[in-house]
Amino acid sequence: MLIATVAPIFARSLKRQYRAAIAWCTVVSVTLLAGCGLTTNQQVAIGKFSTSTAVLGEVARKEFSQSRADVIELNSRALELGNATVAPDKLDQFFTISRVATRAAACDALTQYGELLRTLATTDKSADLLLARDRFMASLATVKAVRLDDAQTGAIGAAIAFLGSAAIEAERRHRVTVIVRGTSPALRSLIELIRQDFDADAEHWQLGYDATLKRLENSAKVRIPAAGIESLSISDEAQVREAQSLAARIRNRRDTANAEILSASAQLAAAEKELRLVMDHPDITMDDVDRFFASVQKLESIIRILDNK
Protein backbone atom coordinates (compact mmCIF):
# COMPACT_ATOMS: atom_id res chain seq x y z
CA MET A 1 0.00 0.00 0.00
CA LEU A 2 1.35 3.46 -0.94
CA ILE A 3 0.78 4.98 2.50
CA ALA A 4 2.73 2.19 4.15
CA THR A 5 5.63 2.90 1.78
CA VAL A 6 5.60 6.65 2.27
CA ALA A 7 5.12 6.68 6.07
CA PRO A 8 8.66 5.54 7.05
CA ILE A 9 10.21 8.08 4.66
CA PHE A 10 7.99 10.83 6.06
CA ALA A 11 8.83 9.89 9.64
CA ARG A 12 12.57 10.02 8.87
CA SER A 13 12.09 13.47 7.34
CA LEU A 14 10.42 14.74 10.53
CA LYS A 15 13.13 13.19 12.69
CA ARG A 16 15.83 14.97 10.69
CA GLN A 17 14.07 18.30 11.06
CA TYR A 18 13.70 17.92 14.82
CA ARG A 19 17.27 16.75 15.32
CA ALA A 20 18.40 19.82 13.42
CA ALA A 21 16.12 22.11 15.43
CA ILE A 22 17.15 20.72 18.80
CA ALA A 23 20.84 20.86 17.91
CA TRP A 24 20.41 24.41 16.64
CA CYS A 25 18.66 25.55 19.81
CA THR A 26 21.25 23.85 22.02
CA VAL A 27 24.26 25.54 20.48
CA VAL A 28 22.62 28.82 19.54
CA SER A 29 24.78 30.73 21.99
CA VAL A 30 27.86 29.98 19.91
CA THR A 31 26.28 29.96 16.45
CA LEU A 32 24.50 33.31 16.35
CA LEU A 33 24.29 34.71 12.85
CA ALA A 34 26.94 37.38 12.73
CA GLY A 35 25.43 40.82 12.46
CA CYS A 36 21.86 39.60 12.15
CA GLY A 37 20.68 41.96 14.86
CA LEU A 38 18.61 39.31 16.64
CA THR A 39 19.15 38.49 20.29
CA THR A 40 19.75 34.93 21.44
CA ASN A 41 16.20 34.74 22.75
CA GLN A 42 14.78 35.94 19.43
CA GLN A 43 16.85 33.47 17.42
CA VAL A 44 15.82 30.56 19.65
CA ALA A 45 12.17 31.62 19.42
CA ILE A 46 12.32 31.87 15.62
CA GLY A 47 14.24 28.59 15.39
CA LYS A 48 11.71 26.60 17.41
CA PHE A 49 8.71 28.34 15.90
CA SER A 50 9.83 27.99 12.28
CA THR A 51 10.81 24.33 12.53
CA SER A 52 7.58 23.39 14.30
CA THR A 53 5.48 25.34 11.79
CA ALA A 54 7.14 23.61 8.84
CA VAL A 55 6.68 20.17 10.41
CA LEU A 56 3.01 20.86 11.25
CA GLY A 57 2.42 21.78 7.61
CA GLU A 58 3.99 18.51 6.47
CA VAL A 59 2.03 16.43 8.96
CA ALA A 60 -1.28 18.05 8.00
CA ARG A 61 -0.53 17.57 4.31
CA LYS A 62 0.17 13.89 4.83
CA GLU A 63 -3.04 13.45 6.84
CA PHE A 64 -5.12 14.84 3.98
CA SER A 65 -3.56 12.28 1.65
CA GLN A 66 -4.06 9.60 4.30
CA SER A 67 -7.75 10.46 4.59
CA ARG A 68 -8.24 10.06 0.84
CA ALA A 69 -6.57 6.64 0.94
CA ASP A 70 -8.80 5.73 3.90
CA VAL A 71 -11.97 6.76 2.08
CA ILE A 72 -11.06 4.69 -0.98
CA GLU A 73 -10.40 1.67 1.22
CA LEU A 74 -13.62 2.17 3.21
CA ASN A 75 -15.75 2.51 0.08
CA SER A 76 -14.07 -0.47 -1.55
CA ARG A 77 -14.93 -2.62 1.46
CA ALA A 78 -18.53 -1.32 1.51
CA LEU A 79 -18.83 -2.20 -2.17
CA GLU A 80 -17.62 -5.72 -1.43
CA LEU A 81 -20.37 -6.00 1.18
CA GLY A 82 -22.95 -5.18 -1.46
CA ASN A 83 -23.67 -1.53 -0.64
CA ALA A 84 -25.46 -0.25 -3.75
CA THR A 85 -24.84 3.42 -2.87
CA VAL A 86 -21.12 3.09 -3.60
CA ALA A 87 -20.21 3.92 -7.21
CA PRO A 88 -17.28 1.76 -8.35
CA ASP A 89 -15.89 4.68 -10.36
CA LYS A 90 -16.19 7.13 -7.45
CA LEU A 91 -14.49 5.38 -4.57
CA ASP A 92 -12.86 8.68 -3.57
CA GLN A 93 -16.22 10.40 -3.17
CA PHE A 94 -15.87 13.65 -1.16
CA PHE A 95 -12.07 13.20 -1.30
CA THR A 96 -11.12 13.74 -4.93
CA ILE A 97 -7.57 14.57 -5.94
CA SER A 98 -8.55 18.19 -6.64
CA ARG A 99 -10.07 18.62 -3.17
CA VAL A 100 -7.01 17.11 -1.53
CA ALA A 101 -4.74 19.32 -3.66
CA THR A 102 -6.58 22.45 -2.50
CA ARG A 103 -5.91 21.55 1.12
CA ALA A 104 -2.37 20.40 0.44
CA ALA A 105 -1.66 23.86 -0.99
CA ALA A 106 -2.51 25.48 2.36
CA CYS A 107 -0.27 22.99 4.15
CA ASP A 108 2.59 23.66 1.72
CA ALA A 109 2.23 27.40 2.30
CA LEU A 110 2.47 26.81 6.05
CA THR A 111 5.61 24.73 5.55
CA GLN A 112 7.19 27.37 3.32
CA TYR A 113 6.35 30.04 5.88
CA GLY A 114 8.28 28.06 8.46
CA GLU A 115 11.19 27.70 6.04
CA LEU A 116 11.14 31.45 5.37
CA LEU A 117 11.44 32.26 9.07
CA ARG A 118 14.15 29.64 9.54
CA THR A 119 16.14 31.22 6.71
CA LEU A 120 15.74 34.68 8.24
CA ALA A 121 17.26 33.43 11.49
CA THR A 122 20.13 31.44 10.00
CA THR A 123 21.53 33.33 7.01
CA ASP A 124 22.09 36.78 5.54
CA LYS A 125 22.83 35.53 2.02
CA SER A 126 20.68 37.37 -0.51
CA ALA A 127 20.18 34.33 -2.73
CA ASP A 128 18.91 32.17 0.13
CA LEU A 129 16.64 34.88 1.51
CA LEU A 130 15.12 35.68 -1.87
CA LEU A 131 14.62 31.99 -2.66
CA ALA A 132 12.82 31.44 0.67
CA ARG A 133 10.66 34.50 0.01
CA ASP A 134 9.79 33.41 -3.53
CA ARG A 135 8.88 29.88 -2.40
CA PHE A 136 6.59 31.21 0.30
CA MET A 137 4.93 33.74 -1.99
CA ALA A 138 4.48 31.13 -4.74
CA SER A 139 2.94 28.59 -2.38
CA LEU A 140 0.68 31.23 -0.82
CA ALA A 141 -0.51 32.29 -4.27
CA THR A 142 -1.99 28.81 -4.79
CA VAL A 143 -4.25 29.21 -1.72
CA LYS A 144 -7.28 31.06 -3.03
CA ALA A 145 -8.67 31.92 0.40
CA VAL A 146 -5.48 33.65 1.64
CA ARG A 147 -3.90 36.77 0.21
CA LEU A 148 -1.36 39.39 1.21
CA ASP A 149 -2.29 42.85 0.02
CA ASP A 150 0.07 44.89 -2.14
CA ALA A 151 1.36 46.90 0.80
CA GLN A 152 2.20 43.77 2.80
CA THR A 153 3.84 42.09 -0.18
CA GLY A 154 5.88 45.20 -0.94
CA ALA A 155 7.01 45.66 2.65
CA ILE A 156 8.07 42.00 2.97
CA GLY A 157 9.92 42.08 -0.34
CA ALA A 158 11.75 45.28 0.56
CA ALA A 159 12.66 44.01 4.02
CA ILE A 160 14.10 40.76 2.67
CA ALA A 161 16.07 42.57 -0.02
CA PHE A 162 17.43 44.84 2.70
CA LEU A 163 18.46 41.90 4.87
CA GLY A 164 20.70 40.63 2.09
CA SER A 165 22.74 43.82 2.19
CA ALA A 166 25.06 45.31 4.78
CA ALA A 167 23.13 47.05 7.55
CA ILE A 168 23.39 48.08 11.17
CA GLU A 169 22.06 45.48 13.56
CA ALA A 170 19.21 47.56 14.98
CA GLU A 171 17.82 48.15 11.49
CA ARG A 172 18.15 44.48 10.56
CA ARG A 173 16.15 43.51 13.65
CA HIS A 174 13.47 45.98 12.63
CA ARG A 175 13.27 44.50 9.14
CA VAL A 176 12.89 40.96 10.48
CA THR A 177 10.09 42.26 12.71
CA VAL A 178 8.43 43.82 9.65
CA ILE A 179 8.44 40.40 7.95
CA VAL A 180 7.08 38.57 11.01
CA ARG A 181 4.30 41.13 11.41
CA GLY A 182 3.61 41.43 7.69
CA THR A 183 3.07 37.70 7.25
CA SER A 184 0.95 37.40 10.40
CA PRO A 185 -2.49 37.85 8.72
CA ALA A 186 -1.70 35.20 6.11
CA LEU A 187 -0.41 32.80 8.76
CA ARG A 188 -3.53 33.20 10.89
CA SER A 189 -5.70 32.53 7.83
CA LEU A 190 -3.71 29.40 7.00
CA ILE A 191 -4.06 28.16 10.57
CA GLU A 192 -7.83 28.58 10.41
CA LEU A 193 -8.13 26.87 7.02
CA ILE A 194 -6.26 23.82 8.29
CA ARG A 195 -7.90 23.82 11.70
CA GLN A 196 -11.47 23.76 10.39
CA ASP A 197 -10.77 20.70 8.24
CA PHE A 198 -9.56 18.70 11.23
CA ASP A 199 -12.39 19.84 13.50
CA ALA A 200 -15.22 17.30 13.55
CA ASP A 201 -17.66 19.98 14.72
CA ALA A 202 -16.87 22.37 11.87
CA GLU A 203 -18.60 20.19 9.25
CA HIS A 204 -15.98 20.60 6.58
CA TRP A 205 -13.58 17.83 5.57
CA GLN A 206 -14.53 15.58 8.47
CA LEU A 207 -18.20 15.50 7.49
CA GLY A 208 -17.41 13.41 4.40
CA TYR A 209 -15.01 11.28 6.42
CA ASP A 210 -17.73 10.47 8.95
CA ALA A 211 -20.28 9.71 6.23
CA THR A 212 -17.89 7.22 4.63
CA LEU A 213 -17.08 5.54 7.94
CA LYS A 214 -20.76 5.20 8.81
CA ARG A 215 -21.49 3.78 5.37
CA LEU A 216 -19.11 0.88 5.94
CA GLU A 217 -20.28 0.36 9.53
CA ASN A 218 -23.89 0.19 8.33
CA SER A 219 -22.93 -2.07 5.41
CA ALA A 220 -21.45 -4.53 7.88
CA LYS A 221 -24.38 -4.22 10.28
CA VAL A 222 -27.07 -5.06 7.70
CA ARG A 223 -25.18 -8.20 6.74
CA ILE A 224 -25.62 -9.62 10.24
CA PRO A 225 -28.81 -11.72 10.47
CA ALA A 226 -31.14 -11.75 13.47
CA ALA A 227 -29.54 -15.01 14.58
CA GLY A 228 -26.21 -13.23 15.05
CA ILE A 229 -22.93 -12.94 13.18
CA GLU A 230 -21.95 -16.51 14.15
CA SER A 231 -24.79 -17.82 11.97
CA LEU A 232 -23.06 -16.54 8.83
CA SER A 233 -20.81 -18.75 6.76
CA ILE A 234 -17.15 -18.71 7.74
CA SER A 235 -16.22 -16.53 4.77
CA ASP A 236 -19.11 -14.08 5.24
CA GLU A 237 -18.43 -13.77 8.96
CA ALA A 238 -14.78 -13.05 8.26
CA GLN A 239 -15.74 -10.42 5.68
CA VAL A 240 -18.06 -8.64 8.10
CA ARG A 241 -15.61 -8.75 10.99
CA GLU A 242 -12.80 -7.43 8.79
CA ALA A 243 -15.03 -4.53 7.70
CA GLN A 244 -15.90 -3.71 11.31
CA SER A 245 -12.25 -3.88 12.31
CA LEU A 246 -11.21 -1.65 9.42
CA ALA A 247 -13.80 0.99 10.27
CA ALA A 248 -12.83 0.95 13.96
CA ARG A 249 -9.11 1.19 13.19
CA ILE A 250 -9.50 4.06 10.74
CA ARG A 251 -11.88 5.94 13.04
CA ASN A 252 -9.48 5.58 15.96
CA ARG A 253 -6.51 6.73 13.89
CA ARG A 254 -8.46 9.65 12.47
CA ASP A 255 -9.70 10.81 15.87
CA THR A 256 -6.26 10.50 17.47
CA ALA A 257 -4.43 12.35 14.69
CA ASN A 258 -7.09 15.05 14.45
CA ALA A 259 -6.98 15.76 18.18
CA GLU A 260 -3.22 16.27 18.09
CA ILE A 261 -3.32 18.43 14.95
CA LEU A 262 -6.05 20.61 16.46
CA SER A 263 -4.02 20.96 19.65
CA ALA A 264 -0.86 21.89 17.71
CA SER A 265 -2.83 24.38 15.57
CA ALA A 266 -4.15 26.11 18.69
CA GLN A 267 -0.64 26.25 20.11
CA LEU A 268 0.62 27.67 16.80
CA ALA A 269 -1.88 30.52 16.98
CA ALA A 270 -0.75 31.39 20.51
CA ALA A 271 2.94 31.01 19.62
CA GLU A 272 2.58 33.29 16.59
CA LYS A 273 1.19 36.04 18.80
CA GLU A 274 4.00 35.55 21.30
CA LEU A 275 6.64 35.59 18.55
CA ARG A 276 5.47 39.05 17.50
CA LEU A 277 5.86 40.19 21.12
CA VAL A 278 9.34 38.66 21.32
CA MET A 279 10.38 40.65 18.27
CA ASP A 280 9.42 43.88 20.06
CA HIS A 281 10.48 42.80 23.55
CA PRO A 282 13.48 40.44 23.19
CA ASP A 283 13.77 39.54 26.87
CA ILE A 284 10.27 38.22 27.53
CA THR A 285 9.75 34.53 28.14
CA MET A 286 8.53 32.40 25.24
CA ASP A 287 6.26 29.93 27.01
CA ASP A 288 3.79 29.64 24.12
CA VAL A 289 6.58 29.03 21.60
CA ASP A 290 7.96 26.30 23.85
CA ARG A 291 4.51 24.73 24.21
CA PHE A 292 4.03 24.79 20.44
CA PHE A 293 7.43 23.18 19.93
CA ALA A 294 6.54 20.45 22.44
CA SER A 295 3.08 19.88 20.94
CA VAL A 296 4.52 19.30 17.47
CA GLN A 297 7.12 16.93 18.89
CA LYS A 298 4.27 14.99 20.50
CA LEU A 299 2.27 15.07 17.25
CA GLU A 300 5.20 13.74 15.26
CA SER A 301 5.71 10.94 17.78
CA ILE A 302 2.03 9.92 17.76
CA ILE A 303 1.83 9.93 13.96
CA ARG A 304 4.89 7.70 13.84
CA ILE A 305 3.24 5.28 16.27
CA LEU A 306 -0.01 5.29 14.28
CA ASP A 307 1.82 4.61 11.04
CA ASN A 308 3.69 1.69 12.57
CA LYS A 309 0.54 -0.06 13.84
pTM of the entire structure?
A: 0.84
Q: Which residues contact 238 (CB under 8 A, 6 or more apart)?
A: none
Task: Give me the pLDDT at residue 64, please.
Answer: 95
Which residue type, as a one-letter code, is found at position 193? L
Task: Give me the pLDDT at residue 18, please.
Answer: 53
**How big is the chain, counted in residues?**
309
Query: What is the C-alpha to C-alpha distance for residues 143 and 183, in angstroms, rounded to an integer?
Result: 14
Q: Measured between alpha carbons, how far is residue 298 from residues 75, 177, 260 in Å?
A: 31, 29, 8
Mean pLDDT per block of 10 residues along the chain (309 residues) reads 42 53 44 60 91 96 96 97 94 92 95 91 82 92 87 82 63 80 92 93 88 96 94 95 97 96 96 93 92 96 88
Q: By 3-state DSSP, what share of the chain in percent is helix, strand and coil, each rounded to 5? A: 80, 0, 20
